[in-house]
Amino acid sequence: MKKGATILIILVVFLVLIVATVASFFFFEFGRPPSVSSRSYLEIHLKGAVQEKAAPDFFSTLLMQKPALGMHDIWMNLRKARSDDRVKALVLRLGYLECDWGKINEIREAVLDFRMGGKKAYAYIEESMDSDKEYYLATACDQICLNPMGSLIVNGIGGDVLFLKKTLDKIGVEAEIEHLEEYKTAYHMFTKEGFTPAQKNMMESIYGDIFDQYIHTTAAARKKSEEDMRALIDRGYFSAEAALETGLVDALLYEDEFTDLVRGDLGKIVRLPHAAYSQIKPSSLGLDKGRKIALIYGMGPIHSGEGTFQSMGSTTVARWFRQVRTDKSIEAVVFRIDSPGGSVVASDVIWREVWLTRKEKPVIVTMSDMAGSGGYWVAMHANRIFAHPQTLTGSIGIIFGKFNMMRLYEKIGVTSESLLFGRNADMFSSFARFRPEVRDMVREEMRKTYDHFIAQVADGRGMSKEDVEKIAKGRVWTGRQAQKLGLVDEMGGLSEAIAAAKEEAGIPDTESVRLVVLPRDYSFFDVLFSAFSSRLSRIQDARFQKLLTIFKALKDEPRWALMPLLFGPQ
């Protein structure tokens, strides 16, 4: 009887949760949008993971947990707020952000654009920890305020780069990985104990360029010389008083005092939360009207099959391109890429759809934090390519390999016997090493794929194969470097890409357009049956997330167009 009662209670609780979740879904989807006061300030809490396009998380809403931030939502809200006469100001409450410099720059540019509308922006920092990216963003605001008991840590860009070879040696695992060419270092964490000269040269170049941009931009924003800003960064740690004295912040204020400051500058004004404003349709403000432009998001590692919340499945993305290509009402496509690459075959499937679509209507690429290797493969035949100065791109190269675990199996007592029908039937077995003839065959096939990649980049970018070969070699470049080399056309983000799409499609700059965004928002049932993968995509440790990206790519196919994942310096 007790057992039956327990089961009944569990079922009742489960049903209550389901009903509550469904109710919250329908309220979210069909409830009235919130009213916006005629004198409001938009408040955005920027803390934690920032995804390009976050899937609706009804479970987090139900459990009163904060869902992941979506770059698309932030950009759209700032775009709406600029033209919304009811929104008089912007407040950014800054905490530690888990994203790279491309997304930070996208938000920063959107804040500057908001201010161009004659409106004020305020940044409030309660306490900072290793917050150079966040400070870079804060300098886009009219005023930066810090809690009187807080501190400001702006100590530059740097960190540790992980190498796992000794760990693999200890457990008896050997990474057998071939690469083309010397800068294709995605595998080095498994096969090296430290930097190769090429890897060190590449990383110093990338992060040196990002650091120079950081110094130049923040110095100009805070009205300091670059020499003075470098000296402050070298100092690194600032108490609240020191941050004020050195001019890194404008005021030291408690929460109530900060609210009084905003209201004192603007008079009687009402807080408008980011989540609430997200429910206001752009069309109600005269945006997203008129002719259609598709905005396709390609996010995460590239693999064959259907995509997940934060991965780029070739079947899914190809289907979206076919849809917009055959839809006569859609006049152009903006393809937003945030990917380190992955499967060569999957990348080529998506590339083909981009190429076919370009024959029918303009395709504009905008790169986020990264669009390297396979992420560059899918972009190279777009009409125009935009990137942020700090975007990581290029990495034109190939890697191929497997892990053999013979010594690990021996240590833990696993034995095997082989049955082979075909000389190389055990080619990818974890119980055997690559034989010399297999390794030679692998290298030959890799060279063919690499040469094809080079030829396609040359064709897509209007360059000679010789010029592409000089800047390929698996090397990662910043967006600013890539523009100088011809791999990228212009600096900019979503707004600039949409403007370019309008231009290419012959739509006047003054005319509004309607964005058809793919993927569309997930339904309640999509989220219900994909909850586990959603949770996996939210792993907070950025290094572990990058490590997972490599292992996901390993599962796809032997050949990878995968960008070296740069740990440490952020």
Strands (E), 468-565: 476-478, 490-491, 513-518, 559-562
Domain-located, residue 294: yes
The runs of H, that is alpha helices, within 125-254 are 132-138, 165-171, 188-191, 197-221, 226-235, 240-245
The answer on 316 and 449 residing in a single domain is yes
The answer on 396 and 260 residing in a single domain is no
Please report the pLDDT score of residue 552 as a whole number.
53
**Encoded amino acid at 50, one letter:** V
The answer on 274 and 303 residing in a single domain is no
Q: Residues 507, 291: contact at Cβ < 8 Å? A: yes
Rounded CA separation 109/270 (Å): 25
The answer on 499 and 385 residing in a single domain is yes
Q: Which two tokens stand for residue 82?
A: 């600029």
Residue of 380, 401, 392 lying closest to 340 (CA atoms): 392
The answer on 333 and 292 residing in a single domain is yes
- Please confirm whether the linkage preceding 193 is cis (ω < 30° from 0): no
Domain-located, residue 231: no
- Domain end call among 282, 309, 336: 282
Query: DSSP assignment, residue 307?
Result: -
Q: What are the average pLDDT values for consecutive 10-residue runs of the chain, which has 570 residues?
A: 61 58 48 81 95 71 64 96 96 95 98 96 89 96 96 91 92 90 88 93 96 98 98 96 97 95 89 94 90 96 88 95 97 97 95 98 98 96 98 94 90 90 88 89 93 97 97 96 98 98 96 93 53 42 51 56 55
Dihedral-angle region of residue 312 (phi above 0 means left; psi in -120 to 50 means alpha; beta otherwise): beta
- Domain end call among 224, 247, 282: 282
Query: C-alpha angle with apex 368: 294 to 321, nearest 5 degrees?
Result: 30
The answer on 374 and 260 residing in a single domain is no
The answer on 343 and 266 residing in a single domain is no
Write out the H or E segment, with its range, that includes residue 97: strand 87-98
Pairing of strands 363-372, 341-343: unpaired
HSE-up (13 A, CA, CB side) for residue 402: 18
Encode burial over 169-205: b for 16+ CB neighbours within 10 A, e otherwise.
Answer: eeeebbbbbbbbebbbbbbbbbbeeebeebbeebbee
**Other beta carbons within 10 Å of 274:** 20
Domain-located, residue 177: no
The answer on 397 and 248 residing in a single domain is no
Domain-located, residue 341: yes
Please report the pLDDT score of residue 530 as a whole number.
47
Place of tokens 């499609």: 505
Q: Which two tokens stand for residue 507?
A: 């739509």
Please report the pLDDT score of residue 424 as a whole number.
87
Query: C-alpha angle with apex 387: 77 to 392, nearest 5 degrees?
Result: 110
Q: Residues 357, 518: contact at Cβ < 8 Å? A: no
* CATH code assigned at 248: 3.90.226.10
- Domain end call among 219, 252, 282: 282
**Encoded amino acid at 437, one letter:** E
559 — phi, psi (to 5°)?
-95, 130
The answer on 313 and 276 residing in a single domain is no
The tally of domains found in the chain comes to 2
Encode burial over 487-507: b for 16+ CB neighbours within 10 A, e otherwise.
Answer: bbbebbbbbbbbbbbbbbbeb
The answer on 274 and 304 residing in a single domain is no
Task: For helices 71-83 and 101-116, give the axis angle rounded to 10 degrees.
Answer: 10
Domain-located, residue 568: no
The runs of H, that is alpha helices, within 420-523 are 436-461, 465-471, 479-485, 494-505
The answer on 134 and 247 residing in a single domain is yes
Please report the pLDDT score of residue 532 as a whole number.
41
Please report the pLDDT score of residue 523 as a whole number.
53
The range of the structural domain enclosing residue 49 comes to: 36-155+236-282
Dihedral-angle region of residue 508 (phi above 0 means left; psi in -120 to 50 means alpha; beta otherwise): beta
Rounded CA separation 70/56 (Å): 10
Q: What is the pTM of this model?
A: 0.87
Domain-located, residue 163: no
Q: Is 267 helix (H, G, I), strand (E, B) or coil?
A: coil
Residue of 90, 94, 88, 46 lying closest to 69 (CA atoms): 46
The answer on 508 and 544 residing in a single domain is yes
Domain-located, residue 180: no
Q: What is the DSSP string of 308-357?
A: -TTSEEHHHHHHHHHHHHH-TTEEEEEEEEEE-EEEHHHHHHHHHHHHHH
Domain-located, residue 57: yes
Q: Residues 310, 300: contact at Cβ < 8 Å? A: yes
Please report the pLDDT score of residue 334 as a whole number.
98
Residue of 497, 505, 477 lying closest to 564 (CA atoms): 477
Count, residues in the chain: 570
